[in-house]
Amino acid sequence: MELTGAEILTRCLAEEGVEYVFGYPGGAVLEIYDAIFRQDKFRHVLVRHEQAAVHAADAYSRSSDKVGVALVTSGPGATNAVTGIATAYMDSIPMVVISGQVNRPAIGLDAFQEVDMVGITRPCVKHNFLVKDISQLAETIKKAFYIAASGRPGPVVVDIPKDVTQQKAKFSYPASIQMRAYTPAQKGHPGQIKKAAQLLLDAKRPLLYIGGGVVLGNAADEVREISRMLGLPVTNTLMGLGAHPGNDQQNIGMLGMHGTFEANMTMQNCDVLLAVGARFDDRVISVPQHFLSSPKKIIHIDIDPSSIAKRVKVDVPIVGHVKDVLADLIGAIQQSDHKQADITNWWKQIEAWRAPNSLHFDQGSDIIMPQFVVQKLYEVTGGNAFVTSDVGQHQMFAAQYYRFPEPKRWINSGGLGTMGFGLPAAMGVKLAHPDADVCCITGEASIQMNIQELSTCKQYHVPVKVINLNNRYLGMVRQWQEFFYGNRYSESYMDALPDFVKLAEAYGHVGMRIDKPADVEGALREAMALKDRLVFMDFLTDQQANVFPMVQNGKGLTQMDLPPHMRNLQIAPPTPVNERDYGNLC
């Protein structure tokens, strides 16, 4: 029996176990939408903007172990999706984006709503395809899902001309796929793993540094096991939140530009660093020259060899799936004859750095501090909610004060820093986990970039909770203008904001405005109790609140701008590490 290209596509998606397709129809994909109408294997969610479709598919994937799927039409529909594709690419999220294309004879002739989707997305996808032959359609979809989810995950675009969706061919879906030019590594090199084990056992100032690769690789259990086995201090990137419990004593908090004082000091002064699924990007180590000014040995585990030694010299590179490599590393440590070095003094030093509490804030006034809202949200939800975020100060407050105890609960645009991500991401997470509490922490500027998705939430009954930290400023822009531009707040103040309560109500949701600290906890509890309603909470917060600590661009990790209560503290640097403390393996 022959099927149209559109029918073949929907059959392929069903074969892949797709549950939701997030999309927006248009002329080039009408055949596909007609085929969707005539099937019952998956649901389609009609968003209000293509960017939101891709963010929702992205977050659906981040919170589950499934590949997200988005569907957009040609031309502006395709280009509107590019920001979402780039967001997923920067954070290595497995996703398949299907875009419509004009008929094959019209390609290259500036036809109506024609864009070169393959060319446009080439720099921000793991791979992309233009399907020119219907006989290749099913195999191409199989390849797309395989590439998206294997190795270092990432988005794959499949561009399908309209006449291909109209043609007919026999349907046969491959059970598996082999690609000779694409063979992701899985197991790490045994010799390198043995070296890493010995370095860790010899270390007097070890540190475990974890990133989003641990979350994506489902390696949280192995991270927790090795950290407990060796008593390691643990720090994480923004994308690694929850991979090690944020409320665990061994967790010293996020590091980097807005990391804790103790995490940055520990990172700078460790003698052996075990980096797992994490990059050494500018927001983490700032200036490489300063980071390496304190001698240390670096072990780096990553599935992507191109991520190793990109910005810093690595002593023991290990390419492989982080879950498998960590399991082998744990085994190597258990089988080693080496006795672990005493790290008691190292922990005393770390506790001395932790004692001033660099995340302390004062909620003594009658103005709501944004940190206070996030802290109360953590208490009210018991740390069990999925939390999505947009980008800005509220993003950093969420990362610092919601102490994620589990992985895949923090859903955020880390690499690209995409404003407008939070609300559609919350939609995707809630559809993946309908019984869970899903909260979107946002700001009054970010939420307006995709606020139209309140309509989608109403249509599909997606009762997420929106926590709008409204300071009437582009908060992080204002902070940088205060720090680096002499308080010249150029275009960072918004004085024509909508009434968010009325706006939420206009979409059929519950709106709340909270302007007193005493009302914060009660409002959060009332909102969380409304399980079947979307609640939009507009918290009027302090306009001058800044995110501390902060490492300015061009400064070293230990050259932090500290919160006011720490600025006069006298904190002695640790004793320099002697080269002979490293052992002699590398």
- Which pLDDT tens digit goes with each residue over 357-369? 999 999 988 999 9
C-alpha 497/C-alpha 92 separation (Å) is 34
Q: Is the pLDDT assigned to residue 579 strictly greater than 60?
A: no
The pLDDT value given to residue 576: 52
The pLDDT value given to residue 586: 27
The pLDDT value given to residue 30: 98
**Strand pairing class (68-72; 95-101):** parallel
SS3 50: helix
The pLDDT value given to residue 575: 53
Q: Is the pLDDT assigned to residue 25 strictly greater than 50?
A: yes
Question: ∠ CA(462), CA(468), CA(469), 5° rounding?
Answer: 155
231-250: average pLDDT: 98
Q: What is the pLDDT of residues 519-551, one digit of tens each?
A: 999 999 999 999 999 999 999 999 999 999 999
Mean pLDDT is lowest, of 102-106, 178-182, 447-451, for 178-182
Q: Is the pLDDT assigned to residue 332 strictly greater than 90?
A: yes
**Any residues with CB less than 8 A from the CB of 373 and at least 6 apart, and which?**
397, 467, 469, 520, 524, 539, 541
pTM value? 0.95
CB count in 10 Å sphere of residue 342: 8
Catalytic site positions: 50, 112-113, 162, 476
The pLDDT value given to residue 1: 80
The pLDDT value given to residue 548: 97
Percentage with pLDDT > 70 across the chain: 97
Q: Is the pLDDT assigned to residue 265 strictly greater than 90?
A: yes
Taking all residues of the chain, what is their mean pLDDT, rounded to a whole number?
95
Q: What is the pLDDT of residues 273-326, one digit of tens each?
A: 999 999 999 999 999 999 999 999 999 999 999 999 999 999 999 999 999 999
